[in-house]
Amino acid sequence: MATPVQFWFEFASTYSYPAAMRAADVAAARGVTLRWRPFLLGPIFGDQGLADSPFNIYPVKGAYMWRDLERICARLGVPFRRPDPFPQNGLLGARVATALSDEARPRFVRALYSAEFARGETISDPAVVRAALEAADCDATAMERAQSQAVKDALRAATDEARALGVFGAPSFTVGDELFWGNDRLDEAMDWALKP
């Protein structure tokens, strides 16, 4: 029996987009349970003294990231459009994802990432989030539940859990205490989960 893989994603994160679009298929093909874990990178970047995306702080690296992401999306066969401004504020999306059931969450997450990185929409706009819920055939009342204290606390607790696991960027995958960072490490995380 494989250990479940925790998939830590943040809506502001560019490489979380291709990871979100392929993670369920990869996990199903490998027979591994995937747990979709929204969290917030802002507080964790804050711990590191980063007040903005590292891709904005280091623009030469940022230029490379956009080209690399374009190539990754082309290979994966998913559309790509750079959102402006970058990074987007993913707080509302993360709260809504937290409010949803484990069954509904992946559909919403893919729909909201598509709005952001396939169509370049502004995901801090409640209308965009609402449209993603609808496109993903999810319960629209998640918009209201997202503002409850219970959901805010759960998202904060998830961010604390990620920090305690050593997560410093997104996407990340954890298998027990073992951390894998980046879309590039999805398959290795699956290998780890399947170790005897």
Q: How far is the CB of 106 from a second copy (least distance, A)?
A: 25
Does residue number 63 form part of the binding site for a second copy (CB under 8 A)? yes
| Nearest by Cα to 111 from 13, 23, 17 | 17
Q: Where are the beta strands (DSSP E) in the chain?
A: 5-9, 34-38, 172-175, 178-181
Does residue number 86 form part of the binding site for a second copy (CB under 8 A)? no
What string marks each residue from 10 to 49 as x (binds a second copy by CB under 8 A) or -? Answer: -------------------------------------xx-
Among 4-12, 34-42, 56-64, 141-149, which window interacts with a second copy (CB under 8 A)? 56-64
∠ at Cα 110 (106, 113), nearest 5°?
Answer: 135
Instruction: Round to whole Å and give the CA distance between 186 and 60.
Output: 26
Per CB under 8 A, which of residues 133..192 are in contact with a second copy? 166, 168-169, 179-181, 184-185, 188
Smaller CB separation from a second copy, 42 or 120: 42
Cis peptide before 38 (omega within 30 of 0): no
Which residue matches tokens 């690399």? 68
User: From edge to edge, which strands make up the β-sheet containing 5-9?
Assistant: 34-38, 5-9, 172-175, 178-181
Single residue of 28, 43, 51, 64 touching a second copy by CB under 8 A: 64
Smaller CB separation from a second copy, 139 or 161: 161
The SS3 assignment for 196 reads: coil
Single residue of 67, 101, 141, 176 touching a second copy by CB under 8 A: 67
- Binding residues for a second copy (CB under 8 A): 47-48, 58, 60-61, 63-64, 67-68, 71, 166, 168-169, 179-181, 184-185, 188
